[in-house]
Amino acid sequence: MNRPAFRWYGKPFYYTPVLICGTLSSALLTGCGGSEPAPAPAQVAPQQTTPAPAASPSQVAQNTQTTPAKKEEKQDDGRKMIDGIPYDVWFDNPLAVAGNQQSVTPVALPGNTVAVTPANTTPAAEMKTADAQPAAAAGGVDWKTIIPMPVLDSVVKDIRNRLTKNMQSVGTYNTTYLELPTFTSTLAALAEIAAEHPDDIGWKKNAKYLRDLAAGISSKQLMRGAKSYREIQVPYEQMIVIMNGSLPAGVPDSEDKKPISDVASMGDLMKRADIASKWLKSNVGNADALKSEKEKVIEEAHLLAAIAKVITTEGYGYVDDKGFLGHANPMTEASLQMVEAAKADNFPDFDKGLTRVYKACTECHSEYKE
C-alpha cells in the first residue's frame, strides 16, 4: 500500500519493539514528540503547551531468533536511519533517561483541551469495565479483559468525533491531515477487535466494513488540498454511517476476518500509544488527578493494553520471539494494573503500573538496540 513518509510498512520487525519502547520511554519521562510535522495544536489552558503526537506476540516458539546487525543509512532528507527506523527513536543512554525525573507540563489528547481543573464528560456508568475474566481459550486473545466493549466503543466514538472535526471542510482537513492515519489505523484495529470480541455493540455486525474503510484511508498518501480531501470524503461518510449503526449503500464487500497487521500499521499504532502514555504521565501525577480523570485513565490504559497485545499477534513478526514477548506481555499486564488501580482510586498502584510499563520499555530497548 502507498504509505506516508513516516510509516514503517515493510521495515524489519525486530526494531519495532524498540520504536514503541523508545517512544513510550520518551513519553513517560520527558514528554517529547517525534520528528514528524506536527498536526494543528490542541487548544490548551493559558500558559500551557500541547506537544504534538510523536511520529512515533500468542504462541511462543521454543527458540528465540537472533537479532541481525543493523545497517545505518540516510534518507533523502538527510535524517540518519538504522534499518529504516529513524535514529532519533533510540536513547543513547537509557540510565540517564531513567534518572530524568523532571516535571512534565500537562498535555491533552489531540483535539481536547487541558483544563486546570478537568471535568469529566463521560458518565461513570458508561465507562465501567468488567472484572478480570478467565484467560481466553488457547490460541485466542482475551479481548473482553484487555479492552471491554464499552471502553472500545468509547474510543471509537472519540475517533468518530475527531474525524468529524477534521473533515468539516478542506480547510480543517489541511490543518489536520497528517494526524489522520494515526486514528484511522487505530480505528481499523479496534474494528477487527470488535469483530472478534465476545460481547456485542450496535455496529459490530458491520465491523468488517468499518475496518477496511478505515484501513483504506490509512493507506493513502494524504496531501493538502481539495483533491486529497475528496478522495477520502466518501469512505469517511460511509464510516460515520456504520459507526451510527447502519450499513451505507455502495460499500465494497469485505472478508469476515483479517490479521490486524493487514489493516493497521504498527508505526501508526505506536503513535497512538505514545499519545496515551504522554497523557497518563503528564495529567495523572497524584491521587486527586487520578480521581478526577478516572474514566479517561481507564480508557487510555485499556487502549495501551490493547495496542501492546495487538503487536504480538500474527503478522507483526513477533509471535515466535520470546525476547519481545517478555517485554510486550508485561506491558499489557501493567496497563491493566493501571485500570484496576484507577477503578479503586489507588494512586500508588497506578504509579507502580506506570513504572512497570517504563521498566518493560527500558529493558526491551537495552536488549534490542544492540
Q: For residue 256, which of 219, 204, 216 has the smallest C-alpha distance?
A: 204
Q: How far apart are CA 268 and CA 6, in angstroms?
A: 9
CA–CA–CA angle 260, 255, 203 (5° rounding): 80
Query: Where does residue 127 rank: exposed (0-12), middle (13-18), buried (19+ CB within 10 A)?
Result: buried
Q: How far apart are CA 303 and CA 335, in angstroms?
A: 9
- Give residue 109's pLDDT: 58
Query: Where does residue 218 rank: exposed (0-12), middle (13-18), buried (19+ CB within 10 A)?
Result: buried
- Give residue 339's pLDDT: 97
Q: What are phi and psi of 347, to 5 degrees?
A: -65, -40
Q: For residue 197, which of 143, 130, 132 has the smallest C-alpha distance?
A: 143
Q: For residue 304, which of 367, 219, 361, 368 has the smallest C-alpha distance?
A: 361
- Give residue 172's pLDDT: 97
- Give residue 97's pLDDT: 38
- Give residue 56's pLDDT: 41
Q: How far apart are CA 7 and CA 17, in angstroms?
A: 15
Q: For residue 110, which of 33, 211, 169, 9 has the smallest C-alpha distance?
A: 33
Q: How far apart are CA 242 and CA 128, in angstroms?
A: 24
Handedness of CA 114, 115, 116, 117 (dihedral sign): negative
- Give residue 195's pLDDT: 96
DSSP assignment, residue 91?
-
pLDDT in tens, the chain (370 residues): 444 444 444 444 444 443 444 444 444 334 434 444 444 444 434 444 444 444 443 333 333 344 444 444 555 545 555 445 444 444 444 333 333 444 444 445 554 443 333 333 444 434 444 343 344 444 589 999 999 999 999 999 999 999 999 999 999 999 999 999 999 999 999 999 999 999 999 999 999 999 999 999 999 999 999 999 999 999 999 999 999 999 999 999 999 999 999 999 988 998 998 899 889 989 999 999 999 999 999 999 999 999 999 988 989 887 888 888 887 888 899 999 999 999 999 999 999 998 887 787 777 667 655 4
Find out whether 47 and 187 touch, Cβ atoms under 8 Å. no
Q: How far apart are CA 118 and CA 293, in angstroms?
A: 7
- Give residue 305's pLDDT: 96
- Give residue 131's pLDDT: 40
